[in-house]
Structures are given as C-alpha cells and as structure tokens.
Amino acid sequence: MKEIERKFLVINRNYRKEARPVPYRQGYIMQDDKGHLRVRTGNGKAVLGFKQHISGFSRWEFEYRIPVADAKEMLIHLCADRIVEKDRYTVLYKGLLWEIDEFHGRNEGLIVAEVELSSEDQFFEKPAWLGEEVTYDPRYLNVHLARHPFGEW
C-alpha cells in the first residue's frame, strides 16, 4: 500500500484535550538504504511492517498482524537497542486523522505529528499545535530515532 505522509514538530499539547494516549513500542529488525522491517506493539496488538521510500514523501508500507507474544520476543531478541518508545494520540481535525507521537526514553522531549494524505499536493488546514514541517528531515524518521536518539543530538 502506498503511504503519503507529512510530518511536523508540535509546539503545544492542546491536542491532548481531544485524545487519549496509546503506548507503543517498536523496534527495527533490519534496515538498509532501500527500506526497513519493524515490529510494533500497542493497544493490545502487534504488527510486523515493511517501509520503503518511493519519492517525495511517499513510501510503500505493508503491515501484518502477528501474535503479541511473538512481537515481544522479536523486540527483545532481534531489535537490540534499535527501539523507539512513544505515546500516540490520534486526533481528527478538519476531516483528516492526525497521529501525534510523544517520545520517551532516549527520545524524551520530542513530539511529532503526522498526517496521511491521498496525494502529495493535497491541501489541508494545519492545527494550531503544529510547528515546523520536518517531512524531508530524515532525523525525524522513527527508524533514524532508534539508532540516533533525539536526546543525543
């Protein structure tokens, strides 16, 4: 499935009025210059996912549900220190679903919001809690944060 996503820093926590956090833990099993394979647990579910950059801010993304127990074992034994922990808030704003991630652990202090679009040129209104766009800055990709945490920048 093709994913078209824009990413922004968050300047305040007003989105919290509209949503409850869901803790996520995700780790990276494999990564190269073509893409990455990750495992994620959250909300009582687990997925194995693959992402590969296409162009601009479009990526291929494939996710498959797996048993939570398997995912926990993968996180422990296959991901080593390539793990990201975060609370995710989902907020519907002007017809689009925003995912806001408040990072913990080695990425504490970082808050990023993402929105999926139907095309790269789709217009959307930005919520007041959005700051600078970081879509094209690879440092803000979760796969990068797993190896180069925000707390070490």
Give the catalytic positions in this structure.
28
3-state percent helix, strand, coil for the chain, nearest multiple of 5: 20, 50, 30
Handedness of CA 42, 45, 51, 55 (dihedral sign): negative
d(CA 92, CA 88): 13
Longest dimension (CA), the chain: 43
d(CA 120, CA 130): 19
Residue 67 structure tokens: 């048993």
For the chain, how many residues are written?
153
